Amino acid sequence: MISRAEPLDPRAFIERNLRLAEVPGLPGIRLYTAHPASGLRQVKAAPYWAFPWAGGLALAKHIASRPPTVRGRRVLDLGAGGGIVAIAAAKAGATEVLAADIDAFALAALALNAAANDVALTIVEHDLLSGEPPAIDLILVGDLFYTEKLAARVTRFLEHCRAASIEVLVGDPRRSPLPLERLHHIAEYEVPDFGGGSGREGGVYAFR
């Protein structure tokens, strides 16, 4: 009889295999972050939640250096991953921070990272791109334009949000699917690339 491996428990896997480490350039923010011995090959889906990405880092730096961007506002971190942008918004004084993702490991990482940083996040566990805009003031979008198909879905959703008078800020290192014709450049930050690689520029944009 062939025995089947027990499915991984996301929370237990993250606590056991990732290291809680301070994010470079963002004093006071710590995330469960992968390292060479983390065994991420055991995770079937791409473990994007296990690393800070360039766009999210740029957006988090922008918020940390300009707290009035989020202070007193209801904020959504769309495709939150490990939650670096959501945590930066909560620490900068947002009234409420929703952190949305659909991956079970990302959802576990969000809860663990929020607790590690002593912030309150409202974790949203379903795909918001197919529904109506939520009742918020500001959407923060880090690194969601990495494939043509996803970029098209995100763009359509953000168009609906702007029609509902919701402000949108995007963080991205100018990957090719990024709809630059819809964006107004606000700021630029030098940040590590995905997985801690060499530095690159991460832009922050307003979605028009």
CATH of the domain at 80: 3.40.50.150
Q: Please state, as a whole number, how many other Cβ atoms lie within 10 Å of the Cβ of residue 189.
A: 22
Residue span of the structural domain in which 172 resides: 10-207
Residue percentage of the chain with pLDDT more than 90: 89
Examine residue 69 and state whether it is found in any structural domain, yes or no: yes
Q: Please state, as a whole number, how many other Cβ atoms lie within 10 Å of the Cβ of residue 40.
A: 17
Confidence bin at 1 (pLDDT 50/70/90): very low
Examine residue 18 and state whether it is found in any structural domain, yes or no: yes
**Parallel, antiparallel, or unpaired: how do β-strands 138-142 and 167-172 relate?**
parallel
For residue range 103-151, what is the model confidence (pLDDT) as tens digits?
999 999 999 999 999 999 999 999 999 999 999 999 999 999 999 999 9
Contact call for residues 151 and 161 (beta carbons, < 8 A): no
Examine residue 21 and state whether it is found in any structural domain, yes or no: yes
How many structural domains does the chain have?
A: 1
Q: Is it the case that residue 187 has pLDDT exceeding 50?
A: yes
Confidence bin at 185 (pLDDT 50/70/90): very high
Contact call for residues 85 and 63 (beta carbons, < 8 A): yes
Examine residue 4 and state whether it is found in any structural domain, yes or no: no
Helices (H), 46-196: 54-65, 84-91, 104-116, 148-163
The gap from C-alpha 109 to its chain's centroid, in whole angstroms, comes to 11
Examine residue 72 and state whether it is found in any structural domain, yes or no: yes
- Return the DSSP state at 5: P
Among residues 146, 154, 201, the alpha carbon closest in space to that of 177 is found at 146
Confidence bin at 193 (pLDDT 50/70/90): low
35 token code pair: 């390292």
Examine residue 5 and state whether it is found in any structural domain, yes or no: no
Tokens 């990302």 found at: 106
Taking all residues of the chain, what is their mean pLDDT, rounded to a whole number? 93
pTM of the model: 0.94
